[in-house]
Amino acid sequence: MYDSFAVARLIDLWLTEDIGYCDLTAQTMIEPDEEGHFAMNARQPMTVAGIEIAAAVFRRYEPRLAIDVTVKDGDVVGKGAILMTVKGPARGILTGERTALNIVQHMSAIATETARYVAMISHTKARLIDTRKTTPGLRMIEKHAVTCGGGLNHRLGLDNGVMIKDNHIAVCGGIAPAVARAKTKLPTLTKIEVECDRLEQVSEALAAGADVIMLDNMSCEDMTEAVAMVAGRVPLEASGGIRLDTIKAIAETGVDYISTSKITQAAPAVDIGLDEA
């Protein structure tokens, strides 16, 4: 989920960064009327994300290009799969190549890593969600990539909900007064989530009227107890120290959501290339 108008603004920034004054290589070596025909290939198995954005990069720089996108975001493809073909003025293809590849590689890396995490908890009711730990300027497309891999989005920004964390609680003098303050000014239908790192805080947050409770860096034993304590009255989110090797046990405690920054901050790069068709 992303807005094409906002993405168009990003594309202009990306191309400006890479091109600078001009593409010296393309301008000096390739004649304006020379044509090229290239295919974007997956060089490893992956979950695709950002393919239409990559196509938009090519179209933005050279509108005359004929582009055939052969997959869609969320598709799982194998090594050797053709993601798109690009045909037309060779200068336009080669100047836009790196920017287009960079974005689809980055987004597909996030989608692919997200899918790995989702697979680890598919036998439970828990759903994987992302965080606000994203690359500045790229949050919209990184969060879209998470959904391509089967994850869900947490808050898109600070204006999407109230998250009462330890520092807020310290300033307000406790969970109950913190929640009470938020409720007096909160827009209608906006949820309040409270971060808890101890079981007694879970009881406090529940009594104060929190809509969601985050179990922050708790042991699996404490999370299991928190699930029993809350008994489905509000959703529980597990967070903190979530890794591929720990997420299965955390999901099996019975929590509703598990959030991790690993899917956006530490996704291994995927290999995608543009080769002559």
Does residue 87 carry a catalytic annotation?
no
**Do 81 and 42 meet the contact criterion of CB atoms below 8 Å apart?**
yes
User: Which of the residues 195, 222, 237, 256 is marked catalytic?
Assistant: 195
Strands of the sheet containing 127-129, edge to edge, are 127-129, 257-259, 236-239, 212-216, 192-196, 162-164
Q: Could you tell me if 259 and 267 are in contact, meaning their C-beta atoms sit under 8 angstroms apart?
A: no
Reading the block at residue 44, the tokens are 């490893």
User: Per the residue annotation, which of 165, 181, 191, 248 is the catalytic one?
Assistant: 165
Q: Measured between alpha carbons, how far is 211 from 189 in angstroms, rounded to an integer?
A: 11
Which of 130, 216, 222, 237 is labelled catalytic? 216
User: 59, 132, 133, 248: which is the annotated catalytic residue?
Assistant: 133
Q: Which of 87, 98, 181, 191 is catalytic?
A: 98
Active site residue 195: yes
211 is annotated as an active-site residue: no
Catalytic-residue membership of 225: no
Active site residue 72: no
- Which residues make Cβ contacts (< 8 Å) with residue 94, sequence separation at least 6? 23, 25, 26, 30, 36
- Burial code of 9-32, b = ≥16 C-beta within 10 A, e = fewer? ebbeebbeebbeeebeebeeebee
The catalytic residues are 98, 133, 165, 195, 216
